[in-house]
Amino acid sequence: MKPQVEIYDTTLRDGSQGEGINFSAADKLRIAEKLDNFGVHYIEGGWPGSNPKDMEFFQQAARRKWKHARIAAFSMTRRKGIPVERDELMRNILEARTPIATIVGKTWLLHVVEVLRAKPDENLGMIGDTIRYLKDKGRTVFYDAEHAFDGYKDDPEYALATWQAAEKAGAACIILCDTNGGCLPEDISRIVGVARQKLTVPIGIHTHNDCGLGVANGLAGIQAGATQIQGTINGYGERTGNCNLTSVIPLLHFKMGLSCVPASSLPRLTELSQFVDEIANLRHDTRQPWVGQTAFAHKGGMHVHAIDRVARSYEHIQPEAVGNRRRVLVSDMSGRTNILMKAAELGFDLKAEAPETRSITSEVKRLENLGFEYEAAEASLALLIKKTLAHSEAPFLVDAYHVSIRGQNGASMCEATVKVRVGEQTAHTVAEGDGPVNALDGALRQALGKFFPVVKKVQLTDYKVRILDGVAGTAAKTRVLITSSDGKRDWGTVGVSENIITASLQALVDSIEYVLMSGKKGQSK
Ligand SMILES: [Zn+2]
């Protein structure tokens, strides 16, 4: 059954124009496979001929079987003054051997005259020739009408003439593009409405997020009758990015009741979003709607109390519906309910009336007053809860440490020594590093690695320092938040002290204790 809205993903083409995004051909194939499994309808792989990576992608893609998606190659209308069959652009896009060819062309007279330096009629000829030629070669041709909205506002008659040229030449869909991202939803609705009236071919919408309206404008296009929406995963793209498909897809499905990707894919949305960030080597945007880590995080005590009773009361949708999860943040605003829910999330069975609950709550408050913060340091909180409940001994103790820094030939070098005690045994190690924390981390893990092999897999992946305001007469405090990873999961720990090294050591020790607590393996002999 044909869906009501078709999803055209351009993460690999328009999305890769974003700052800091650089996909290899192998990256592109992995993302395309993921998108295909998810059930998007079209995957635009790149612009064949623009670089060797894109051609390599198309060569590989042509050999694979795609379950849901059809692969599209992007190019532009033939160049001015060159017959279409002699234009190298056409040779390249045909060599890509994709079922879909997407061709971008000019709508806006300003661009035709000033940028292309072409006659208005010549541009119409370029559009028509290109589409006809590719269609004759067996391609399904989509026509991306660049600057469609700005062009229409400037000269409606000419804009319409360009779209009609595309329709007449046999385009299978005409996609109106808000290339500069400056339109309001009402502009989009009105102009898509006009296109629907004047054309019989299906209409698509392609928007950018320059005004923070990428998604809103895309949906305005759909409401006005467009049946294809173009965008990127996580909203990647030039400047502020493209229309974000990780918002568009659940909005179409849950809020507008329109079919797009298979319903069974929706719970995999968060995973898709994280996967693409990982391949792009970008940190996941925690505040991203629907799929961000904080999308269903609750902080205020009263909120949390209500969530505990009726989740629906403070959430617009169930987090699991998009593969996300509810999180309870512990902060100085928090009451006992936060601690209880946090404990349950961490796998501890804690009762509201239990004396331990009261003592954990007051301990958290006391530490927060000292400058600790547990929102991003769930592992430190888990240890705190665990130590209170289990009265357990620490698996190791740091008996002594020393950090030194020296300058040498214009470079600085740090050295740290650490002495740890595990049961009756001790280990004493020294390590060098680019900085004091790096050296300390190295020495600590070397020492503990002898007793607990699992520690060798742990890596420090992020390190943040915040100077907390000193109250008059006292020294300012330093809060250190570190993120560690074992390659499979990440956890955060916190340390606070007047001394940055001491604060760092606390956070490092917590991080390792947490690993030892969560994986019972790796015990010392
Ligand atoms: Zn674009």
* Contact status, residue 70 vs residue 64, Cβ threshold 8 Å: no
Quote the ligand 1 centre to 292 CA distance (angstroms). Answer: 24
Quote the ligand 1 centre to 427 CA distance (angstroms). Answer: 58
Quote the ligand 1 centre to 206 CA distance (angstroms). Answer: 7
Quote the ligand 1 centre to 227 CA distance (angstroms). Answer: 18
**Helix/strand/coil for 352:** coil
Quote the ligand 1 centre to 66 CA distance (angstroms). Answer: 25
Quote the ligand 1 centre to 219 CA distance (angstroms). Answer: 16
Quote the ligand 1 centre to 207 CA distance (angstroms). Answer: 7
Quote the ligand 1 centre to 125 CA distance (angstroms). Answer: 23
Question: What integer best gives the mean pLDDT of the chain?
Answer: 90
Quote the ligand 1 centre to 36 CA distance (angstroms). Answer: 21
Residues 6+ apart with CB under 8 A from 332: 365, 368, 369
Question: How high is the pLDDT of residue 462?
Answer: 80
Quote the ligand 1 centre to 162 CA distance (angstroms). Answer: 18
Instruction: Name the pTM for this structure.
Output: 0.74
Question: How high is the pLDDT of residue 471?
Answer: 56
Quick: pLDDT tens for 424-472. Answer: 999 999 999 989 999 999 999 999 999 999 999 998 888 888 888 765 5
- Helix runs in 224-268, H state only: 245-250
Consecutive H or E run containing 340: helix 336-345
Consecutive H or E run containing 285: none
Quote the ligand 1 centre to 45 CA distance (angstroms). Answer: 14
Quote the ligand 1 centre to 190 CA distance (angstroms). Answer: 20
The whole-angstrom distance between residue 461's C-alpha and the CA centroid of its chain comes to 17
Terminal CA-CA length for the chain: 62
Question: How high is the pLDDT of residue 303?
Answer: 67
Question: How high is the pLDDT of residue 494?
Answer: 94
Task: For residue 506, give Cα distances in angstroms to 141, 424, 431.
Answer: 61, 22, 18
Quote the ligand 1 centre to 148 CA distance (angstroms). Answer: 11
Quote the ligand 1 centre to 243 CA distance (angstroms). Answer: 9
**Helix/strand/coil for 227:** coil
Quote the ligand 1 centre to 208 CA distance (angstroms). Answer: 6
- Residue 20 corresponds to which tokens in the numbers above? 């800091």
Quote the ligand 1 centre to 322 CA distance (angstroms). Answer: 26
Quote the ligand 1 centre to 158 CA distance (angstroms). Answer: 21
**Calpha distance 18→418 (Å, rounded):** 44
Question: How high is the pLDDT of residue 325?
Answer: 86
Question: How high is the pLDDT of residue 283?
Answer: 78
**Helix/strand/coil for 239:** coil
Quote the ligand 1 centre to 180 CA distance (angstroms). Answer: 8
Quote the ligand 1 centre to 436 CA distance (angstroms). Answer: 46
Residues 6+ apart with CB under 8 A from 213: 181, 183, 184, 185, 207
- What are φ and ψ of residue 196, in 5° steps? -60, -40
Question: How high is the pLDDT of residue 368?
Answer: 83
Question: How high is the pLDDT of residue 340?
Answer: 81
Per-residue pLDDT of the chain (525 residues; tens, 9 = 90+): 789 999 999 999 999 999 889 898 988 999 999 999 999 999 999 999 888 899 999 999 999 999 999 999 999 999 999 999 999 999 999 999 999 999 999 999 999 999 889 999 999 999 999 999 999 999 999 999 999 999 999 999 999 999 999 999 999 999 999 999 999 999 999 999 999 999 999 999 999 999 999 999 999 999 999 999 999 999 999 999 999 999 999 999 999 999 999 999 999 999 999 889 988 888 789 899 999 989 998 876 666 677 666 777 778 999 999 999 887 776 545 567 777 877 887 778 888 888 888 888 888 888 988 888 887 788 898 899 888 887 777 899 999 999 999 887 888 889 999 999 999 999 999 999 989 999 999 999 999 999 999 999 998 888 888 888 765 556 788 999 898 888 777 788 999 999 999 999 999 999 999 999 876 433 332
Quote the ligand 1 centre to 392 CA distance (angstroms). Answer: 57
Quote the ligand 1 centre to 417 CA distance (angstroms). Answer: 54
Which residues are placed with Cβ below 5 angstroms of ligand 1, an ion?
14
DSSP one-letter string for 35-88: HHHHT-SEEEEE-BTTBHHHHHHHHHHHHS--SS-EEEEEEEPPPTTS-GGG-H
Quote the ligand 1 centre to 268 CA distance (angstroms). Answer: 26
Quote the ligand 1 centre to 149 CA distance (angstroms). Answer: 13
Question: How high is the pLDDT of residue 390?
Answer: 76
